[in-house]
Amino acid sequence: MTRLRSHRGISLLEVVVTIAVLTAATAFVMPTLAGMTEVDNERSTRQQAERIWDAIYGDPADGEFGYLGDMGRLPTTLTELVEQGSQIAFHTADGGTEHIGAIGTGWRGPYLRDFFSTSDLLTDAWGRPFTFSNGQVTSGGPDGQTSTTGDNIVFPVHAPPTTGTVFVSVLVNRIPDALGSTAKLYSPVNGEQVGGTTTKHLQGDSTFDGFWLENITHGVHILRVANTSATQQNACITVTRYVPVSVYAGQQVIREIRMTSDADVKVTDNACTIPD
């Protein structure tokens, strides 16, 4: 005689127990998953903040000085990194006149490139826009509030400098720091090449030991060094050199400029006027 196997449905108690177990497991796992998501958001936000900062400062090791080097200033808003707007376009001549040293200045962005939209490039992992001040890129973190600094994500941690110093020593006909020497830097200012103040080594300045050019913006500049001296016939002769100089924010650049001429470098009183 064949015995039939009995079949029965799942009882209500078993359903309730199963739901309780799944609920408990979910309650245990969800905080862990949420924590992992926050860690990922923070990591992604920090990486994007660093990308934005790199767009501003460039990679000097590769000869790139970013937005700061091209424009001669920090962006007023991060949007200026990806949208030209009214900013001066990159150029090497003004009105047909070549820049000194053929150095180009002006906006040549976008400095941030990706397949994403502009808003995505400039927002953190929580979808909120980064802020920028004093050379630092900041996200409000999980709570989105930059006023509550405890969870802010800031890159770099300390406000970075934007300028460096150039020290120039001049050797004219083997005479160090010869009288009649001048130094001048041509630098980008808001996207245009502008010549700075001429620094002179004047007669009677016995303490002169070279030119200290301070607060020079991070980027590539053209240094003009000239020397005006008198010949034995009391006539003036000026020798000029133009030298590119890369200035790194927070650092000092030392350059020795050697100049030669057939002139006697001894300058007599009032014999020559040192030009600007």
Question: What structural domains does the chain harbor?
Answer: 57-155 (3.30.700), 163-259 (2.60.40.10)
CA distance 140 to 222: 40
Task: Quote the pLDDT of residue 161.
Answer: 95
Pairing of strands 236-247, 219-230: antiparallel
Tens of pLDDT along 142-176? Answer: 988 888 878 899 999 999 999 999 999 988 888 78
For residue 1, pLDDT over 90 is answered with no
How far is Cα 274 from Cα 49, in angstroms, rounded to an integer? 49
Q: What is the mean pLDDT of residues 106-134?
A: 86
pLDDT reading at 257 higher than 60: yes
- The DSSP letter of residue 58 is -
Q: Three-state SS for 20? A: helix
Q: Record the pTM.
A: 0.80
pLDDT of 180 above 90 = no
Supply the pLDDT for residue 33. Answer: 47
pLDDT exceeds 50 at position 229: yes
**What's the average model confidence in pLDDT over 122-128?**
93
Round the average pLDDT of the chain to a whole number and report it. Answer: 83
Q: Is 32 exposed, middle or buried (0-12, 13-18, 19+ CB in 10 A)?
A: exposed
C-beta of residue 249 within 8 angstroms of C-beta of residue 275: no
